[in-house]
Amino acid sequence: MAQDDSVVSAQWLHQHLGAPDVKVLDASWYMPVENRDPWEEYQVAHIPGALFFDIDGIVDQTTDLPHMLPSEEAFAAAVSALDIKNQDKVIVYDGKGFFSAPRVWWMFRVFGHNKVWVLDGGLPQWRASGFDLGSANPDDAVVKSKTANKAVERVYNGELTNTITFKTEFQPHLYWTLEKVAHNVAAKNYQQVDARSKGRFDGVAPEPREGVRSGHIPGSRCVPFPEMFDGAPRLLSADELRKKFQQAGISLDHPIVVSCGSGVTACILALGLYRIGKHDVPVYDGSWTEWEAQSDSDYPKATATAA
């Protein structure tokens, strides 16, 4: 494990599983069209001792946008319910290998917790390594996960929450809003990189969310998130990652902001950029789902490759 890297190996986690300061989170989440239930899958099989982190439950409850970053108080209440403390090392994984876990890695970093890593290759790599899976769910694991979601609801309802043991320290430079992106479209201080597929980016393939047009924020470049990892899946080496961004016309000497469809896979690009030493890459949380819903006159869209 390296403090300046964004992932840990299945071997490392296997050796340290059960250590009192190592907390493991199953952050599996799937696109609505996939018809998969991550909570159900967690209960069938997970890394022993892992707790479930609900990306659709630990969210900002004041917006209709999907899984937006919760308030500091809501995040602290949820993480405290999961029995995670500031001194703990947090290891996050998901059922695909590299999909939703980097989102939770980013969330912890936004709230000031840098002792967080993604399991390289996630559950598929854990299985491929021949390590045991847990299927029996201790009652307290189920209770903690459900209590985390309830803690978020209580905060947004203005109710008192249970004791908060996790202290947050918001890092605004890692989190971008609609206004910041709009300003950047004009100012061009940051290179905007989109993690969606080329078809969606170019406006020729449909978005997975009903009523959302495909296309991209003007001036963006496209680096589809699967380019960050190999077929195992494991995160590519720093040199290979550098080449991927350079081939897309991105200068690694200049600031970068990342986005995607709804703020999940953008975090995979942030994870890759972290490995090559860019530790301050912000994520546009609302991403294309938010941008596309705004008026075209105020928030222009590019809907063809030539645009």
| Catalytic site positions | 260
**Distance between CA atoms of 120 and 124, rounded to whole angstroms?**
10
Query: CB–CB of 122/51 below 8 Å?
Result: no
- Sheet containing 175-176: order of strands: 175-176, 283-284, 256-259, 191-194, 221-222
* Count of beta carbons in the 10 Å neighbourhood of residue 306: 5
Using left for φ > 0, alpha for ψ between -120 and 50, and beta otherwise, residue 112 falls in: left
d(Cα 14, Cα 10) in Å, to the nearest integer? Answer: 6
Alpha-carbon gap, residue 249 to 57, rounded angstroms: 37
Using CA atoms, how far apart are residues 20 and 88, in angstroms rounded to an integer? 8
Q: Is the CB of residue 25 less than 8 Å from the CB of residue 253?
A: no
Cα 36 → chain centroid = 18
Residue 161 CA, distance from chain mean position: 25
Specify whether the backbone of 219 is left (phi greater than 0), alpha (psi in -120 to 50) or beta: left
Cα–Cα distance measured from residue 102 to residue 228, given in angstroms and rounded to the nearest whole number = 12
- Cβ–Cβ under 8 Å, residues 293 and 178: no
Dihedrals phi, psi of 111, to nearest 5 degrees: -95, 20
Q: Which residues neighbour 138 within 8 Å (Cβ) at sequence distance 6 or greater?
A: none
